Chains A and B, each alone.
Chain A
Amino acid sequence: MARDQFRNSPEYILLPVNPLFIGFTLLLAVLLNVIPLGRVVGMPDWVALSLVFWNIHQPRRVGMLVAFLLGLCVDVGDAALLGEHALAYTILSFAAISLHRRALWFGVLGQMLHVLPLLLMVQAVILLIRMGAGGVFPGVGYFLESVIATLLWPVIAFFYLAPQRRAVDRDEHRPL
């Protein structure tokens, strides 16, 4: 637990994670991916972002099987080739799990610098697959969504860790 004090500067010792909460966040991410906003450039891939978060924080619970299955769901939801996101997320998950011990030693900025190349890699894999299948390059703005997703990392980290930051013994002075 030594690394926790570096992860969040006031020295929290986090509560154990609730698996239901992980499931809820991942479901929410899938839901955000299919929200009908039309075609917005730079709309972040919520599933990839949530996945990389849990891969780094809970690699024993959210591993490559989850990544693969979520990838299949996103493939069907996005009407993409079946297996495209599954492959990209599997690679993402492997890289994130390999990095997770290192990434958590950094502050939020350092973590963002770890997450950005991972997310860019997901997009690069998808781009390669689609170009190989006869697609056209959608423009450099395509990579904007990884940058925006990385900028959302502190927000995600705050909300996803919030349930674990609650006090163990709650009383009227510490309701949360």
Chain B
Amino acid sequence: MEYSPPPFFRQGPSSFARFAFFAALSVVLLIADSRFKALEAIRATIATLIHPVQRAARTPGEAWSGAARFFASQSDLLRENDELKRRNLEAAAAALRARQLEGENNHMRRLLDTRESLKVESIAAEVIYQARDPFSRKVVLDKGTQAGIVAGQIVVDETGVLGQVTRTAPLSAEVTLLTDKDQAIPVQITRNGLRGVAYGTAQPGTGLLELRFMTVNADVQPNDELVTSGIDGVYIPGLPVARVARVEREAGYTFAKIWLNPLAGIDRYAQVVVLSAKLKDVPPLPPPDDEGTKAKRGKRKFEERKSAEPTPAAAAAPGLAPASTPTPAPTPATAGTAPPASAAGEKK
């Protein structure tokens, strides 16, 4: 069975020696990547090399949709055009009003001598493909550091938050979706201002989020809408995230089991927007200690908040303890103080 060459051919090292060499090299890479995150340069290089292939893989789909568009009937186009015009008018009106309010708001803030609210910049990008890896939920965007995308930025579509940029290459960027097991997002219920942290579920295939560490008597009801709370300094406050799908309260457990349906089209998007908030007064990263490096990638900003704002220690979150995990206070903020998130983010 062993591949043994005739002795008069020099074939280099034996098959087993090659195997041992490459296997050892792979293990070294694995450890270096998973433990020390040391290979981002190599990764970015390979990503750039295979970028043409990724682009090429899109062409059949694009050709298909192009053909479909070519054969779309004129009445369909007219209807869509009317619809878009109507929406554009509405959006323009809202944008005008928002601009006026923003100016007014900034003026008020200056009068009150507080920080001006965040300037948000946005980059439009397109999802090239969804990573095949069944253990994670990631998508790849067609823009990278050359377009100004930085790891840690937020990715939204027109209906809500999709996820967060976790790794960048010059021409592409990886986005970890909210439904990934290791992704967490600080949220707030719009109805009563109750804050919490939503995690991707550990159950594969459900496409749901989980609102953890809410006490059994917490005021959460099905169909409650959740938006980002902005308390972590990463996510801009007020972005729609999810809607409560199911609440299970069992007296035997400390926490209720709350399942959420993400609002963004987690599985059916093509165009997305990458938002970057210029957070001016976020202190620099603390020197990486053991726990800091263990914290999940992309959640490093949580650590910044930890040093900035000593909140009570989070409930036992395995592996990652974002400071923004609220100890589930049974005193929900009243609906009147609607934007406590932004306030919390601003006053120091």
Residues of A within 8 A of B (CB): 27, 30-36, 38-39, 43, 45, 59, 63-65, 67-68, 71-73, 75-84, 86-87, 90-91, 93-94, 97-102, 129-130, 133-139, 142
Contact = CB atoms under 8 A, between A and B. Distances in A.
Given A79-B133, A82-B42, A90 B23 contact: yes
Interface residues of B, number: 54
A171 to B, nearest CB: 37
B58 interface: yes
Interface of B: 1-3, 15-16, 18-19, 22-23, 25-30, 32-34, 39, 42-43, 46-47, 49-50, 53-54, 56-58, 60-61, 127-136, 138, 140, 167, 174, 181-182, 202-205, 267, 319
B15 A43 contact: no
Contact of A34 (B42, B57, B127, B205): B57
B132 A43 contact: yes
B64 to A, nearest CB: 11
The 5 lowest CB-CB distance pairs between A and B, nearest first, are A83-B29, A87-B26, A36-B129, A83-B30, A94-B19
A90 B319 contact: no
Contacts of B30: 81-84, 87, 129
A67 B132 CA distance: 18
A42 to B, nearest CB: 11
Contacts of A98: 1-3, 15
A35 B33 contact: no
20 contacts: A30-B53, A35-B61, A36-B127, A39-B130, A39-B267, A64-B15, A67-B22, A73-B46, A82-B33, A83-B26, A83-B28, A83-B32, A90-B26, A98-B15, A99-B1, A130-B135, A134-B182, A136-B203, A138-B135, A139-B205
A39 B266 CA distance: 11
A78 B132 contact: yes
A81 B129 contact: no
A98 B58 CA distance: 37
